[in-house]
Amino acid sequence: MTDHSPRLFASDAELEHLGEGLMALTLSKAEWTHEAHLGATTYLLLKRPNIDLDRQLPGFIRAFNESVGGVNNDSEGYHETITRAYLRGIRLSLEEADLKRPLHELVNELLLSPMGRRDWPLRFWSKERLMSVAARRDYVEPDLAAMP
């Protein structure tokens, strides 16, 4: 596994900015980091229960990618299997968390955990399967181990 030194968050306001900015398409491309993906998704799960992330998150990410000049195709942009894997990981992390703690502490704990690592999905999918066009377009089941 690779070195794991994530950028941590100092306030809940940073996460609100990311979550609301994702939906409003007001984030810059530079703001949309791995940590931002996880932080925005955690914010949306906890603070915007009116949003069905299983149904709406793919559209938010695709629209954001396009808003900053990116594309969503067979080789770049939105990736269904990775998104679903991290959404599941975030939910697992929150099941074990003290939800009375500040949001940024919960996200930082996630980022420092195995589920927050950039290579976490590779515990379950081979690189070839995870990076396939099929996995980018639609969810594909893991081929190395079952997800927790």
Q: Residue 4: pLDDT above 80?
A: no
Give the whole-angstrom CA distance, residue 59 versus residue 46. 19
Provide the percentage of residues in the chain whose pLDDT is more than 90. Answer: 97
pLDDT in tens, 85-121: 999 999 999 999 999 999 999 999 999 999 999 999 9
H or E element: which one contains 89? helix 80-95
Match 């996880």 to its residue by tokens.
38
Read off the amino acid at residue 136.
R
Could you give the CA distance from residue 97 to residue 109 in angstroms, rounded to a whole number?
Answer: 9
- Whether pLDDT at 139 is above 50: yes
Torsion of CA 69, 40, 27, 119, to 10 degrees: -50
pLDDT over 50 (residue 31) = yes
Calculate mean pLDDT across residues 38-55: 97
Task: List Cα–Cα distances, 30 to 9, 33, 129, in angstroms.
Answer: 16, 7, 28
pLDDT at residue number 1: 47
What pLDDT was estimated at residue 118? 95
Q: What value does the mean pLDDT take over residues 26-49?
A: 97
Is the torsion defined by CA of 56, 8, 70, 79 positive or negative? Answer: negative
Res 105: pLDDT: 98
Q: What are the CA-CA distances from residue 8 to residues 2, 4, 139 (Å)?
A: 17, 12, 29
